[in-house]
Chains A and B, each alone.
Chain A
């Protein structure tokens, strides 16, 4: 029995501390994925929290045929996509606010080299903005693949679509991201030139 499975068994016996252990074990990885699917850290935190609560409530229906983390991912990614969809509807009615919803400051260890932090922050901003311009479908496959290192199969499990769909979505997403970043670089070169 895996460690997760043991903790789940304990949860089902009413041990809420065991669920706390499951949360602390998976929270950061889940948060980082959701953060890249959404734009606001606060929203990502809320979605991850809601995903854990939902997982707890549905724990009896977790059959153990998938890994717990994959199951949790499925809940969180679906919640994030749904949240984004709702948010988009609200944003259409409200004026956009620039400069909000950035990423937390970089890890201080990265700032040792002069200029490195600035370059990293600039690159992160560009990648983050480019990701934000992709559709939820394209964005989620890139995040699951490149950030989380998932295989097609796991991604198909999480997103509940066939492996062929994952492959073709990733293909289109990679090409779209490439175009966006190339256009961005060309625009930046024109501005500085």
Chain B
């Protein structure tokens, strides 16, 4: 009997959305368990059945009918953007959550007050626990308490206020007033990436959260940008190979777009690489200007498959039919290769492309797939 998480692994396998490591686990499970094999085959057959459902076409008049109907319906003006994007039915829950958080803070502060009193500087509570008996607590500000008005003996000395509730409140406020990050993409300039740590953190989070990325990079000069990328990759121990069709386009110049594809870089390496590219040169202007980071869309993935001439997801299936002969055994010490893809799908497979396709252990576990579109402004 398979466990729930094993069945989940099988359904996700059918969805085709497992990471290389998860896929390995799934395949191991299928190899070891006849029940898993049976379930997987059934699930795949059912998915295939749905896929095979016949496609129908609408009648010839449909388009004309829609265009005709459109003529009678004017376009609506753009609605003003709403500051809150979640449905209003969540508001009561959010309000209840905030109320609960405030109650929790007040309660916690009360308990702490009763337990330790106000005197945080002395770290000595009303029960007489001495500072040296609580040496597991980090020392705090050794500054003496503010001077007390000596003349007025009737007024008890004013104690230092407990900073805890204020700190918690500040954190809560910060949390609730933080800008809502865009859901799908991060749009930034390389100058921002270089100057603002916050931008770099956000970029790193976006890259970390996506197993397949699309980077749309605007550059000021194509050859300089590719050259710089080559050097940055080399410094990271990765080789950049350029397909001859792209090499020719580079030499010819002009506003041609180049697609760079990598599948053996870790998320942190991608972030580091972008940061490296963001560093402005001392003498010349940085060729890298802007980057938009988003998850790799299906259309883009299809483009990669067409230009590579094989589907990276189907290489390690049961029937690994390598188009260009048997694959070499994995060699972890071999160069990792990133490629500037061919300009067209018709081009004959070049030595550079073969070098990329034949690199061992591709993709490595934990790596992300990255398609970089470099285009000159």
Which A positions have Cβ atoms within 8 angstroms of B?
Answer: 12, 16-17, 19-20, 23-24, 27-28, 31-32, 35-36, 41, 45, 48-49, 52-53, 56-61, 65-67, 103-104, 106-107, 110, 120, 123-124, 127-128, 131, 142-143, 145-147, 149-154, 157, 167, 170-171, 174-175, 177-178, 181-182
Taking a contact as CB atoms closer than 8 A, the residue among B54, B67, B73, B77 that contacts A106 in the complex is B54
How many chain B residues touch A (CB < 8 A): the figure is: 45
Given known contacts A153-B295, A175-B11, is B58 in contact with A27 (CB within 8 Å)? yes
The complex places the Cα of A143 from the Cα of B12 at a distance, in Å, of 15
* B56 at the binding interface (Cβ < 8 Å): yes
Closest to A126 in B: B49
With A53-B73, A151-B17 already in contact, the answer to whether A32 and B56 are too (CB < 8 A) is yes
B74 at the interface (CB under 8 A from A): yes
**New A-B contacts (12) at CB < 8 Å, excluding given A27-B66, A52-B70:** A19-B70, A24-B63, A27-B62, A32-B55, A32-B56, A53-B66, A57-B73, A61-B79, A103-B54, A123-B49, A147-B50, A167-B12
Bound-complex Cα distance A9 to B78 (A)? 15
- Tell me which of B47, B185, B298 contacts A151 (CB under 8 A): B298
List of B residues within 8 angstroms of A150 by Cβ: 298
Contact of B11 among A17, A32, A104, A174 (CB under 8 A): A174
- The answer to whether A145 touches B54 (Cβ under 8 A) is no
Contact with A along B55-82 (1 / 0, CB 8 A): 1111000111111011101111111000
5 pairs from A and B in contact (CB 8 Å cutoff) = A23-B66, A24-B63, A48-B62, A57-B75, A103-B56
B53 with A124: CB separation less than 8 A: yes
Q: How far is the CA of A106 from the CA of B54 in the complex (A)?
A: 7
Cβ of A20 and Cβ of B76 under 8 Å apart? no
The interface residues of chain B lying within 8 Å CB-to-CB of A32 are 55-56
A61 and B53 in contact (CB under 8 A), knowing A48-B58, A53-B66, A56-B70?
no
Cα–Cα distance between A123 and B45 once the two chains are bound (Å): 12
Interface of A: prevailing SS: helix
Measured between C-beta atoms, what is the minimum distance from A130 to chain B in Å?
8
Minimum C-beta distance from B296 to chain A (A): 9
B29 lies within 8 A of chain A by Cβ:
no
Partner of B76, one of A60, A110, A153, A175: A60
Contact: A107 with B50, CB < 8 Å?
no
Shortest Cβ gap from B68 to chain A (Å): 9
B55 surroundings in chain A (CB, below 8 A): 28, 32
Q: Are A177 and B185 in contact (CB under 8 A)?
A: no
Residue B126 is within 8 A (CB to CB) of chain A in the complex: no
